[in-house]
Amino acid sequence: MGIAELVLIAVGVAMDAFAVSLCKGLCMERIKWGQAAFLGVLFGGFQALMPLIGWALGSRFIRVIAPYDHWIAFSLLALIGMKMIADAVHEGEEECAVDGGLDLVECLLLAIATSIDALAVGLTFAALNVPIVGAVTLIGIVTCALSMVGVAIGATFGSHWRKPASIAGGTILILIGAKILLEHLGILVL
């Protein structure tokens, strides 16, 4: 897996955190950079931790899954992508707190919820023997940056970016999964 694919995966898995950050920004009358940085670090940290856990679990069982690794990678990335798209299409509008403040418990729960998909990505990394330190560092940095941008956009422009961002992220993950499968089947040679 090359750096371009890793960047696209990082962007793809960061879209849930971006969408939540966008919602948090919507609740602010003006951009609060301290809160944006807090959300970025929190979401980025969890997005980096979850694939590391998935990779550790997947590495223990690599002998069992190696013959099927391309199917596992395709299935997980496609399912995650389809879930992101379905959630975006069917989501309701979230309510904002009156003052736009951040609740620590709520933010922790959101960080966990938005990073669960990254756990499955970590399993994919184990199956494809991806160097994990660089991959999770990239995912954490990309998620942190996109979360901060999400807060800024939400505070500035409003909610019309939330749905397209989640749909784009889901589509990216599906396409990467399809590429992995097609390469392993010998249909696509790059």
The structural domains of the chain, ordered by start, are 3-93+103-184 (1.20.1250)
- Residue 170's pLDDT is 73
Q: Please enumerate in sequence order all residues whose Cβ is within 8 A of that of 118, keeping only pairs 6 or more positions apart, or say none.
A: 13, 46, 47, 50, 51, 54, 139
pLDDT of 157-182, one tens digit each? 755 666 776 687 678 778 877 887 88
Question: What pLDDT score was predicted for residue 142?
Answer: 97
Burial class (CB in 10 A: 0-12, 13-18, 19+), 121: buried
Q: How far apart are CA 16 and CA 23, in angstroms?
A: 11
Query: Contact, 112 vs 45, CB < 8 A?
Result: no
The candidate with the shortest Cα–Cα distance to 123, out of 175, 56, 74, is 56
Q: What is the pLDDT of residue 74?
A: 81
Helix, strand, or coil here: 23? helix
Q: How far apart are CA 32 and CA 12, in angstroms?
A: 25
pLDDT tens sequence across 68-114: 777 877 887 788 778 878 877 886 555 454 445 677 888 888 888 77
